[in-house]
Structure formats: C-alpha cells, structure tokens
Amino acid sequence: MTDNAKSPARYTITAALPYTNGPIHIGHLAGVYVPADIYARYQRLQGKDVAFVCGSDEHGVAISMKAKKEGITPKEVIDKYDGIIRKSFEEFGITFDNYSRTSREIHHKTASDFFVKLYEQGDFIEETTAQLYDEEAKQFLADRFVVGTCPKCGHEEAYGDQCENCGSTLNATDLINPKSTITGTVPTTKETKHWFLPLDRYEDFLKEWILEGHKKDWKPNVYGQCKSWIDDGLKPRAVTRDLDWGIPVPVEGGEGKVLYVWFDAPIGYISSTKEWAAREGKDWEPYWKDKDTKLLHFIGKDNIVFHCIIFPSILKAHGEYILPDNVPANEFLNLEGNKLSTSKNWAVWLHEYLVDFPDMQDALRYTLTANAPETKDNDFTWKDFQARNNNELVAILGNFINRVVVLTNKYYEGVVPSPSEFSQVDRETLEQLRKYPEIIASSIERYRFREAGQELMNLARLGNKYLADEEPWKVIKQDGERVRTIMFVALQIATGLAVLSEPFLPFTSGKLKQILALGSSADEALWAKVATQETLLAPQHKINKAELLFRKVEDSEIQAQLDKLEATKKANENENKALMPQKDTITFDDFSKLDMRVGTIVEAEKMAKAKKLLVLKVDTGLDTRTIVSGIAESFTPEEIVGKKVTVLINLAPRALRGVESEGMILMTENADGKLVFVNPDEDNVGNGLTIN
C-alpha cells in the first residue's frame, strides 16, 4: 500500500459509467453504485476532500444495437436512457459530485487529446488486419455485432468482445462459428487499418505495480484476474473501431473510424472531473495528477481488465496521471437463482422499484449491501428483501429508535433528561458506542461493506439490549432518577446511529436527525464526534415527536413482484419456444379432403392400464362416436365433459388397445408443454358445422 493511501489529501472516486442502452437494475447497484456511494459519503463525514464522479457512457456498439432494434437514432437512445438513469440515481440518493455524458464536447476533446498525445509519442502501432465483415449489411462487424461459440468455455452465445458465461475477454475473430447479429449471416473477413495499444510493452510495469505492489491490499478476485491476464502474456489491443457512432479518430487516416469505447469511456472520469471543477471554481488537475490523491475505481468484475490493465497502461503512456490506489470490483448479483439479463428483462429495474416501493430506498440499499457479491456471485430474492426489511430494519433499528423517542416524549415531553450517576452497565454501553465509528470505518476502509452494514445493525442491537435489560418502563414506577440516566444513555446511542447510518441509510439518517432535532450543519454530523465527544445529545435539548422510520413489507407485495418475474419467465419461454418447421406444401384438393367439424365431448373416461389415453364420446352433429385421445396427462375426464372441440371426422378408424377410434381431436401445446384444445370461441357455433 502506498504512503498516500493512508492519509491522502483528497479522494477521486469513480463509479463505472452505465451504458445508456437501458435503465439501471439491482445488479448495477449492488456491484458498483451502492458501495461507491457508501464510501464517498463516509469520507465526506470524515471531512475529506472528495470528488465522486460518473456519467452516461453513450458510445459503443451497445448504443448502435439498441438504436437499430428500436428503429431510432443513437442520439434518441442516449437521450432517453440518460434521463431515466440520471433521475433514478437522484431519487435513490447516489451522491455524485458530477454526473456527465460522454457525448458532451468536453469529453470528446479530452479523449481526442489523449489519443493524439499517445499517437504523437509513438505509443500506438498501426496495423492492417483481417476483421469480420457482413457482406449483406456492407459493414465491418464491431464486437457486439457478432455472436458465436466461446473458444474457452463452449458457451454458444458469446459476443465478439466478451463471453458473459465465463467472463473471458475475447476478440471477434476468436469466436467459433461466428454469426452477424445484424443479418444472421456468416461473416467473411476483410482487411482494415486500426491503431493498437501494445500492452506487451507494459508487462514489466504491470507486474511491479499490481503483482508486487498490490498483492496484499487488492481483493483476491481482482488480483487473481489481473495475474491470470499478465501471466498469459499481454497482446496489442485495438483502440479504434469501424463504426459510425462514437468519437472520430482525430488523426490522418482515421476517416470512418471512431475511438474504441473502452479507450474513451474511462477517460470519461477525467472529463467529468473537469466539468465538476469548472462549475465549482476548482482546479481539476490535482484530483488526477497529484500523488497525494487517492484514486479509486468502483466497478463490476466484467470491467476489471479494462480498469486494471488497459486504462492504467494508457495513463502510464500519457505520463502525467496518477494510477488507481485500488479497484474494489464486486462479482455478479443473481436474481431469484438466475443470472440478471437486460435483454431478457430478468431484472429488478430501479425506476420501477421506486414506483412499487415509494420512500423505501433504504430498504433496498440495506438488502443489497447485506447481500453484496463482494467475493463471489450472490443472489437477491424478494423473500430475503422482505426478511431484511421486517426482521432487521423494522424489528431492530426501527424498534429501538421508536421506543427511545416515544419514552422521551412520554416521560420528559421530548426534553433530553440530565443523567445522574452512571452504573457499570451505562459506562460499558457508552464505551461500546464510542468504539463503533472505528469498527465500521475499518470495514469500510477495507471495502467490506457487508461487514460494515452489519456492524451498524449491531449498534442498534446494543441499544435494544440495553433498553430490554434496564426496562425503564418498569423502573419508572420505583426510581425516576435512574430512568433519567437510562434514557440519556439510550438517546446517545440513537444519536450515534443517526450519524453512522448516513452512508448506508441516508434517507433514514436524515429522518432520524430531524426527529432528534440535530440540525443540518455538516459539522454536527462529523464521524469522529461519535468516538470522541462524551455527550452527543446534551441535556435540555428538545427532540421532536416519534415517526416510524420503516414500514413492514406485506406478503402480497412480495407476491406481486414474484408474479411479475414469473410473467417475464413465461414471456421468455414463449419467445424462445422452438416452433415446428413448416411441413411439405399441399394442394387445395389435399386440404379439401379433410372433414373437420365442431363437436362436443359428452362422455370421457380413462383407458385401463394406459397413462396417456382417454376414451371420449363426441357428438359431431352427424352422430356420437368414440375417439381415443392422448390427453390424459393434461386433463381429467371430469373437466372436459361438455367441452366444445374441433374434430377430424373422416380419419380412417384405428384400433387402440382394443378400442376403435373414429376420428381425432385437434390440439396444440402452450409454453409450459400443456395441451390446449383448438376450438371455436363463439358460443352459437353448433355441433356438426364444417371448419373451412
């Protein structure tokens, strides 16, 4: 760990730029934005100089693909989703100091200047290589316009830049059996010129900086992925693409090409910082160029290579910038046992959650922190969300605060009582309270946000246990003086919770500060005061009336969310259900030979010793005949008597298990594999009418 990491002059905190091809879901929140916001809020409470920056990533193939799919322009796509994402972050309480857009002029200039400087320094190599080309669409296929089989794990739907199954970073030409996502055709190869960053030149630097310098302080999942890449030997990486959407390559020969999104996107952190500094009247350069700055990248595991190997190599080549002190990447969050998928709508979208659970941002923040995929993939379930909310936020934290505030108003009209002599239990409890800022801070500084959140809840447990053991509601009858001390101690714990909960539960913290009438001064919320100040809430201070911090989540609300996911699953199954290919063409004369009539099932029974067969009596309008049908696994005899059906009546009779069947009932099958009758909808269609 570097010396400046222990006591830096300032913090530059970045959160991965979200693609503006869709809204934000809980996987993004758990992996990146909640931990980044916890860390930024915590450092501000410590009085630190913080620049917390992010912005919409508005270039790259993902945007072009979305535009083609929706039949609109890339600009219409980015404007739509930037608005949705920006509003969701604001409503959820993510406290970016600046949230920019990579389509802005300041970013185009910053990224272009970077490219030109490296180009003029001779840091790129120029190569003409064979790239995949769609002959039908008449264009080169950028990474995400190609799918095929991953050469490393065999997954059949890997993209040209990455396999989402095994996480491997790929080149499009690595794919087995590649296919264009634009036309579905098999691509050819065609030569094109591009500029490459020769990563192999930076192997020694990366070995020293990461493998030796960060062996002890980087997370094992991050360090391990970097080591694997470096050990395999680094290869030149293209920094330009043949696309019509992005930042034009700003050198001669770059016509018709743009900067690769993974070259320009991380530079978006720098341009966002420039934008913030200009607005605030600050100098942006120390936040990126001063060795006394601590630079941190909060990302998901699929971005580790870009933030730990490619972007640092770009910064190293430039020569003027500091390198990240840490990249605390998280693993993936699953949903109800299945991988989150934007394309399949298998997600909990933040903007929809905020509608379904208004004013419950902290319940989701808390659950995502408690289940954060810090060292391995983890699972979000709605039942766990309900349990975390009801059994922890409501029953532990909310219960403690409510009892303290209600009793203070009941016994002392909301005025903090003056304590008398402290008992041994009182002193030990207050001493425990003073330890919690350091306990929680230690976890946050090591990027163990799950642990930190549980320590916060342990402080609420301490308060609950103290009240339960001291029983002021009983003692008040015999020893009013003792109760004044008990309530004074309990109010100190409540005040400590109001301060220490802010990084994790900012809306709750704000509400609690209002209840305790703490005021809005930032100085009053400094983290260190909880550890060093003997009295956090002074005697004679008047607090406000109680109000519930949290509400219970009902079973019906959870079921509604599960039903929504089930509907998504069914829709996906229907979409993906393989349809039987068209049979051989027939003539009209062939079709006219079929005699199909409306009929009604008048009797039905199971065939003896036959699992799938029912013996039916069907009124065809012409007669009542026996038909044996293989529908016993989908229907009981009782439920189909009286059912109107379509019958093929001129099928040659056939003996089935000794019963002669004189026709066929027309059926189809739904997405669940259940048989469904093909029958007329109108009630006034009588038996015997012909199907034409």
**Does the structure show a pLDDT above 70 at 308?**
yes
Residue 117's closest CA among 267, 221, 337, 242? 267
Q: Are 412 and 427 in contact (CB under 8 A)?
A: no
* pLDDT at residue number 3: 41
Q: Are 79 and 298 in contact (CB under 8 A)?
A: no
For strand 10-15 and strand 293-298, is the pairing parallel, antiparallel, or unpaired?
parallel
Q: Which residues contact 372 (CB under 8 A, 6 or more apart)?
A: 30, 34, 35, 330, 333, 378, 449, 450
Q: Which residues contact 333 (CB under 8 A, 6 or more apart)?
A: 26, 27, 30, 31, 340, 368, 371, 372, 373, 377, 378, 379, 380
Task: Please state the rounded mean pLDDT for residues 503-526.
Answer: 84
Lowest mean pLDDT among 285-289, 387-391, 622-626: 622-626
Q: Are 503 and 444 in contact (CB under 8 A)?
A: yes
Task: Please state the rounded mean pLDDT for residues 39-45.
Answer: 96
Binning pLDDT at 50, 70 and 90, where does residue 520 land? low
Could you tell me the two tokens for 558? 């959870």
* pLDDT at residue number 655: 85
**Does the structure show a pLDDT above 70 at 509?**
yes
Other beta carbons less than 10 A from residue 318's beta carbon: 15
Task: Please state the rounded mean pLDDT for residues 450-454.
Answer: 98
Which of the 8 DSSP states describes residue 491? H
**Does the structure show a pLDDT above 60 at 46?**
yes
Binning pLDDT at 50, 70 and 90, where does residue 291 land? very high
**Does the structure show a pLDDT above 90 at 309?**
yes
**Does the structure show a pLDDT above 70 at 524?**
no
Task: Please state the rounded mean pLDDT for residues 401-425.
Answer: 97
**Does the structure show a pLDDT above 70 at 163?**
yes
Q: Check residues 273 and 634 and name the one with the higher pLDDT.
A: 273
Mean pLDDT of the chain: 91
Binning pLDDT at 50, 70 and 90, where does residue 521 land? low
* pLDDT at residue number 350: 96
Lowest mean pLDDT among 94-108, 233-247, 436-450, 677-691: 677-691
**Does the structure show a pLDDT above 60 at 365?**
yes
Q: Are 60 and 162 in contact (CB under 8 A)?
A: no
Residue 314's closest CA among 163, 431, 186, 195? 195
Q: Are 40 and 315 in contact (CB under 8 A)?
A: no
Task: Please state the rounded mean pLDDT for residues 250-272.
Answer: 95
Lowest mean pLDDT among 392-401, 428-437, 466-475, 613-622: 613-622
* pLDDT at residue number 523: 52
Task: Please state the rounded mean pLDDT for residues 264-268.
Answer: 97
Q: Are 101 and 240 in contact (CB under 8 A)?
A: no
Binning pLDDT at 50, 70 and 90, where does residue 552 land? very high
Lowest mean pLDDT among 88-102, 414-428, 558-572: 558-572
* pLDDT at residue number 170: 80
* pLDDT at residue number 4: 44
* pLDDT at residue number 525: 54
- In the block, which residue shows the tokens 């607005």? 279
Q: Which residues contact 622 (CB under 8 A, 6 or more apart)?
A: 597, 649, 688
Task: Please state the rounded mean pLDDT for residues 371-391.
Answer: 96
Q: Check residues 594 and 138 and name the one with the higher pLDDT.
A: 594
Q: How far is CA 98 from CA 16, 94, 274, in A?
A: 13, 11, 10
pLDDT tens by residue, 73-131: 999 999 999 999 999 999 999 999 999 999 999 999 999 999 999 999 999 999 998 88
Q: Is 631 exposed, middle or buried (0-12, 13-18, 19+ CB in 10 A)?
A: middle
Q: Is 345 exposed, middle or buried (0-12, 13-18, 19+ CB in 10 A)?
A: middle
